[in-house]
Amino acid sequence: MKAPLQSRAVSLLPLRCPRGVPVSFPFRRHSTTAEAPKYKPFSAFLTDSFNRQHDYLRISITEKCNLRCLYCMPEEGVPLSPPAHLLTTPEIVYLSSLFVSQGVTKIRLTGGEPTVRKDIVPMMQALGNLRRDGLRELCLTTNGISLHRKLDAMAEAGLTGVNLSLDTLDPFQFQIMTRRNGFEAVMKSIARIEEMNKAGAGIKLKINCVVMRGLNEREIVPFVEMGRDRDIEVRFIEYMPFGGNKWSEGKMVPYQEMLSLIREQYPALEKVTDHKNDTSKTYRVPGFTGKVGFITSMTHNFCGTCNRLRITSDGNLKVCLHGNAEVSLRDLIRRGNNGLPIDEQAMEALDLESSERELLDVIGMAVKRKKAKHAGIGRLEKMKNRPMILIGG
């Protein structure tokens, strides 16, 4: 294990450009292989009993969202946790530093909608500093409503990838599926990422589309055609059951059916070689710039190569998206602060080194309990799980 985390404290003070000096591209380069720490055996704490090494951490930073998507949020809404139950920014940075010290190389901020958190930019700046300890990717999953207003600052902080949720290209259908307005703002965010990438920002853009029968399956081909001349990967996601989203197998469009719909229009659609830990099966239409992916959690799981762990907004470690076993990391790190939320001043005063091994042991035990695969259709929809918005996308 590395030196105690206190010796690697991360400042939450925002980075500032000289007054009057415009932000220019390309942005600061992110970690390269040459900059990464020397090779060492992967952490036993993040390796499960099936020898899966978990180097990808997804952190939900808020339960709030400015949309009400059908598959994510129950129509009646969800009771939100009291603010004191949610992780503070110093707590998120501390846990991130701990996981990076054990081999995590990719962190993704999720929600709710992460951009509604007021301090997301200074948080990302602090997380971006973890590149010196081995972090290589700092990503965001967002609905894009307010993203365009914060993109420049996020890119300067080290943002490397955006997964943008968009389930329709029809503004009116957008209102039906999200129960809110905002289509034009989402398009503005996509355009801004593309503009920044032309200037060298290097932000990998993926568009996530949850396909629901009777709502948006007719838009599959138009989504594919977004990638004709644009460097975009559109990923179609099989509709999954979560608390309160009224899932039924009849509403789910299996990926093989989506594939057939695309091949009716583009019969030359070809498979692209996937990377070991990819969650999607990737394809390309010959001559198109972009790619097409399918996230097939329901009909063809990818559990065997899963390298992802999740921390919920209220500080629970969740080792499987579709599992309901959770363990509180928040309560462990707050124990030295009388159970109270830890702000930056309290973080500096705490002796977390003494409890660090216990925290890692708890994480390690949770990871070791991870099952070989999650339940399949027929069982999954009957299992109790949080609403998606309270897990983190």
Query: Hey, where are the domains in the chain?
Result: 45-390
Q: What is the 3-state secondary structure (H, E, C) of 11-67?
A: CCCCCCCCCCCCCCCCCCCCCCCCCCCCCCCCCCCCECCCCCECCEEEEECCCCCCC
pLDDT for residue 381: 54
pLDDT at 244 over 70: no
CB distance 109 to 59 below 8 Å: yes
Over range 129-142, report the average pLDDT: 97
Residue 240 corresponds to which tokens in the numbers above?
């999954």
Question: Could you give the 3-state DSSP secondary structure of residue 219?
Answer: helix
The amino acid occupying position 358 is E
d(CA 364, CA 103): 13
Question: Could you read off the pLDDT of 43-89 as tens digits, one per residue?
Answer: 999 999 999 999 999 999 999 988 887 777 766 677 889 999 999 99
Residue 183 pLDDT greater than 60, yes or no: yes
**pLDDT tens digits, residue range 356-367?**
999 999 999 999
Check residue 197 and give its pLDDT.
Answer: 97
Is 144 within 8 Å of 207 (Cβ atoms)? no
For residue 327, give Cα distances in angstroms to 314, 323, 339, 362, 385. Answer: 11, 12, 16, 8, 14
Q: What pLDDT score was predicted for residue 18? A: 33
Helix, strand or coil for residue 68? coil
Phi/psi at 367 (5° precision): -65, -40
16 pLDDT higher than 90:
no
Helices and strands in the chain, H and E counts = 10, 12
Question: Can you name the CATH fold of 45-390?
Answer: TIM Barrel (3.20.20)
Quick one: average pLDDT of 324-346?
A: 94
**pLDDT (mean) for 13-26:** 35
- Supply the pLDDT for residue 10: 42
Q: In this predicted structure, what is the pLDDT of residue 192?
A: 98
